[in-house]
Amino acid sequence: MLSPGQKAPAFTLFNSDKKEVSLESFKDRNLIILFFPMAFTSVCTAELCEMRDNISVYAGLNTDIVAISVDSPFTLAKFKEEQNLPFDLLSDFNKDVSQAYDTYYETFVMNMKGVSKRSAFVVDRNGIIQYAEVLDNAGEVPNFNAINETLEHIK
């Protein structure tokens, strides 16, 4: 499992606008990387809407947000539009990034294979992980207070 002090694994994924977004795109800014199991589910919607509703807090901390799932870019585009999410949703359809971040269910509910676990990482402007939380229970959400405390500490 990845832990604070480690370099964040590089990635390049397509967003809901079918444009490539990489970890390198956020150089010189802090980044919250959220992995979530599936668009349009209740807990995932609540989690991402929590981030949406507090976007000004994160902007004030020089922090961007990306949310990653194994959904297709087309599914993510509809989800982003319906929930009015002001940050990139990235498609890890091939599951490479979820595996690199060790946030991956081999088998999820209803025997679905290869789904991202719900998790949160704070990566500082130098690409170093400052916070890592991987949840085995998809019904739980990350500790937003701990994320915010980490960001306050590194701002």
Active site residues: 44
CB atoms within 10 A of CB 32: 25
Pick from 75, 80, 85, 122: nearest CA to 101: 122
Angle between helices 42-53 and 73-83 (to 10 degrees): 60
Pick from 105, 101, 100: nearest CA to 116: 105
**Helix, strand, coil in percent for the chain, rounding step 5:** 35, 30, 35
By residue count, the chain amounts to 155
How far is the CA of 49 from the CAs of 86, 90, 102, 129, in angstroms?
Answer: 10, 16, 24, 24
| Cβ atoms of residues 69 and 36 within 8 Å | yes
